[in-house]
Structure 1
């Protein structure tokens, strides 16, 4: 399955993106999420299929989420946090 997607970046949260169907834009994104996301800045339009390579998301999962809920939310990468227990012998 192929889909033309619009990608929006959050003006408030570095690295947070919303992928949506281009024809639907942000209409299916729940209002509480839009408030949390902040001002949505249009980043790009892309033709997405399951085989497409994306930098930080699995294209098949993006397509599935858009079909089921109307959007895919990509969160910023988390800073690596070491588990304090990893350094302790058992």
Structure 2
């Protein structure tokens, strides 16, 4: 699956994955306000059997397919969102 990665202007370390370049139509408006401007970083072919630096490839693909986007947060932010 080809995906397009954007970095957030406001949230350092946050990356937005899209299935189509520059198509933010499926990203909730509130999330876009939180992230600020999204700057294109790179594109790549996401494969379920290839590891990512952060996250699970199959999970990212599932989220992209179902929602049209995937938000990758920095590890510290992910830990803060977990319920203990």
Q: Same fold (TM over 0.5)?
A: yes
Counterparts of 2:69 and 2:57, CA distance in 1: 13
Runs (4+) off by over 2 Å:
22-25
**What are the ranges of 5 or more consecutive residues in structure 2 without an aligned counterpart?**
none
Separation in 2, partners of 1:9, 1:23: 13
Structure 1: tracts of 5 or more residues without a match: 82-90
Q: Name the one with the larger helix percent.
A: 2
| TM-score scaled by length of structure 1 | 0.78
From 4, 9, 22, give the equivalent of 1:6: 4
Partner residue, 1:48: 46
The size of the alignment, in residue pairs, is 79
* 2:45 matches 1:27: no
RMSD, aligned CA = 1.9
TM-score by length of 2: 0.83
